[in-house]
Amino acid sequence: MRKGTAKLVGTAMAAGALLALGAGQGPAGAAGGRNVSIQQHQFNPRELTVNVGDEVTWTNRDGEQVHSVTADDGSFDSNPDCSAGNPKACMANHDTFKHTFGGEGRFPYFSKTWGGPGGQGTSGVIVVVTPPPKGTKNGPGGPPPKKSS
């Protein structure tokens, strides 16, 4: 392969990688964004990283199976009265639940009907981070200092 062709291929691959990563879209990326689906008794994705202040939307796509989205620590709950014994109080197929995360941390959650706290059964985790300040490429410290000649 000639040098010019290799450089063109490398540039195209780098551009493709940036698109695949959702450059500029934050940790959740462009495809799928800040959405979690409930399907086949699983949260998908099981772990999602978002920025402080982001809203996450869960959608039940599990057919006849009902669910809840309940934080292990009780900080959010889509359906407080949901239980296996009270399925009418749970999220039905195509129902959604939205929650905005105001601070950093790990927020494990579960479905009351098919899971439990501590990662049992139908469960997941939202990881909330503070994004680097706008305009920095190397994180909070900015670019490394230039060497003087």
Class of the CATH-defined domain 34-129: mainly beta
40: enclosing H helix or E strand: none
**Percentage of the chain modeled with pLDDT above 70:** 68
Phi, psi of 6 (to 5 degrees): -60, -40
| Range of weakest confidence among 3-7, 55-59, 77-81 | 3-7
Higher-scoring residue by pLDDT: 62, 139: 62
Q: What's the CA gap between 69 and 97, in Å, rounded?
A: 8
| Range of weakest confidence among 35-44, 84-93, 126-135 | 126-135
Q: Is the dihedral of CA 48, 51, 52, 54 positive or negative?
A: negative
Tens of pLDDT, residue by residue over 97-149, are 999 999 999 999 999 999 999 999 999 999 999 988 887 665 555 555 566 65
Phi, psi of 61 (to 5 degrees): -125, 35
pLDDT average, residue stretch 22-27: 38
**pLDDT over 50 (residue 22):** no
- Confidence (pTM): 0.70
Tokens of 114: 């098919």
Tokens 């199976």 belong to 65
Phi, psi of 132 (to 5 degrees): -65, 155
Tokens 């670019």 belong to 143
